Structure 1
Amino acid sequence: MELFNQIDGYCERTDFTYWSEPLNAVTNLSFIIAALILWPRVRGILGAQVLVAILFVIGVGSYLFHTHATVWAAMADTIPIGLFILAYLFLVNLHIMRWPLWAATLGTLAFLPYATAVTSAIMHMPVSFLKISSFYWSVPLLLVIYASFQRVKAAGVSRGFLIGAGLLALSLTFRSLDETLCSALPIGTHFMWHLLNGVMLGWMIVVYRSHMLASAPQGR
């Protein structure tokens, strides 16, 4: 793999100059702003602090990808997203599902075969629209599954997960429409993926934070 090979995967990009994707680059501020807003609000909640830190890195990594458009920048973009998914899932398993550490860890690792199976199933579907973001669709589906488990025990968490799933499904729709609408909308729609995901990831941290505060011992 040549780390400096260039990638042209978005409608807005017309060449490989630094600012060929201005909207896709600048809208990564949504992740950074969300992280800066949340940071003082998660003081004392280690798991939430880790998530906010990763959220900030997501914004930086995605900015690098939409300016440099290289393989190494793509890795800087996707690796933090994967880390956020796994970290959030682990914290949910441990603190919301209240699984023991070993089960929370195994449940987190199980995301990899689960996502692979969902991606494979989508790729065999006749709907090409879903195939564009096939891997990512496993995440809102998982949020719906977890919401169903919390519907009685933690209704607020369940609603929070469903709202997050809805936001992510909407942002995935914009991500998938980018190339499809390119001829009609030259700026593309990928920038909406950034804006909505900044809100969505921030919201998911708020859901986790609220649960941790609500379950903290009184007088703490």
Structure 2
Amino acid sequence: MASGWSTPVDIYCERTTAALWAEPLNAATNAAFVVAAVAALALWRRSGRRGDWPALVLIAVTALVGVGSLLFHTVATRWAGLADVIPIMVFIVVYLVLALRRVLGLGLIATGAGLALFFAVSAAMPALVRLAPGPWASSQSYFPALIALVTVGAIGRAMPAAAGVRASADALLLAAGLFTVSLIARMADLPLCDALPSGTHFLWHLLNATVLYVLLRAAILHRAAA
């Protein structure tokens, strides 16, 4: 019997057995993250800003998101779950720092405070979700990222800022809208399982890959506050 990090994980509608390819749609759609990373890399190369290493790091992390998620939807164990979650969390934290610096033009101390606030909201989220249980509980770790996108985007949009900052703020708000739809698809996977045996989690992958590309494009092209 498997135990510890090799414990099998079965939390998606599409998986009905422990077989490696029991989630064909969920596994295959991870290619969207690699496509997003390759497209962003091509944009980064064309942009003439090859010294922009933070954007390049985010591009690499986007590719790792696809690899980690592929592992989780094939191997489907606890350790593969970590391979899935860690790159996503790294992208969120690095991008938040970049957005606070480039979109809002914050200094190091203010950026640190913003990051601390994000972690505080993340820590409080499980308690908040317990007050109102529902299908959103399984996606609670992503709500702070949505809140951050909306907050930074809205503040940036309201600032009397340069065109580059305004464009970045608009991109963050667009990403927030797409991410909202993506979260709905993620939360609907198990509740709609009887009606849709393939589930809806694969839509989470496709929409999230789009979200990451929108964010990468903004990071590459708009640096007015950097």
Instruction: Give TM-score, length-normalised by structure 1.
Output: 0.91
**How far off is 1:156 after superposition?**
1.9
Residue of structure 2 aligned with 1:71, choices 68, 78, 87: 78
**Number of aligned positions between the proteins:** 214
**How far off is 1:109 after superposition?**
3.6
Gaps of 5+ in 1: none
- Structure 2 residue 187 is the aligned partner of structure 1 residue 176: yes
Gaps of 5+ in 2: none
Which amino acid letter does the alignment assign opposite residue 57 of structure 1?
L
SS of 2:5's partner is coil
How is 1:117-136 mapped onto 2 (pairs within 5 angstroms)? 117-125=124-132, 128-136=134-142
- Structure 2 residue 86 is the aligned partner of structure 1 residue 84: no
SS of 1:159's partner is helix
Of the structure 1 ranges 103-112 and 82-91, higher mean CA displacement relative to structure 2 is found in 103-112
| 1:164-195 CA-partner distances (Å, limit 9, x unpaired) | 11100000000000000111111000000000
- Structure 2 residue 166 is the aligned partner of structure 1 residue 159: no
Which amino acid letter does the alignment assign opposite residue 73 of structure 1?
A
Residue of structure 1 aligned with 2:104, choices 78, 97, 102: 97
**How far off is 1:160 after superposition?**
1.1
Alpha-carbon distance in structure 1 between the residues aligned to 2:84 and 2:202: 14
Which amino acid letter does the alignment assign opposite residue 16 of structure 1?
A
Rate the CA distance shift 1:160–1:30 in 2: closer, same or farther, 3 A. Answer: same
Q: Residue in 2 aligned with 1:2?
A: 4
SS of 2:4's partner is coil
**How far off is 1:120 after superposition?**
2.6
| Contact residue 118 and residue 148 of structure 2 kept, 8 A | no
Q: Residue in 1 aligned with 2:24?
A: 22
**How far off is 1:29 after superposition?**
0.4
Of the structure 1 ranges 80-89 and 91-100, higher mean CA displacement relative to structure 2 is found in 91-100
**How far off is 1:129 after superposition?**
3.0
| Contact residue 137 and residue 169 of structure 1 kept, 8 A | no
Q: Residue in 1 aligned with 2:115?
A: 108
Instruction: Give TM-score, length-normalised by structure 2.
Output: 0.89
**How far off is 1:42 after superposition?**
1.6
Alpha-carbon distance in structure 2 between the residues aligned to 1:91 and 1:194: 23
Q: What percentage of residue pairs aligned between the two structures are identical?
A: 38
| Contact residue 116 and residue 135 of structure 1 kept, 8 A | no
SS of 1:3's partner is helix
Alpha-carbon distance in structure 2 between the residues aligned to 1:67 and 1:167: 26
Alpha-carbon distance in structure 2 between the residues aligned to 1:105 and 1:56: 27
Alpha-carbon distance in structure 2 between the residues aligned to 1:7 and 1:156: 41
Which amino acid letter does the alignment assign opposite residue 92 of structure 2?
I
Alpha-carbon distance in structure 2 between the residues aligned to 1:33 and 1:92: 23
Q: Residue in 2 aligned with 1:150?
A: 156
**How far off is 1:34 after superposition?**
0.6
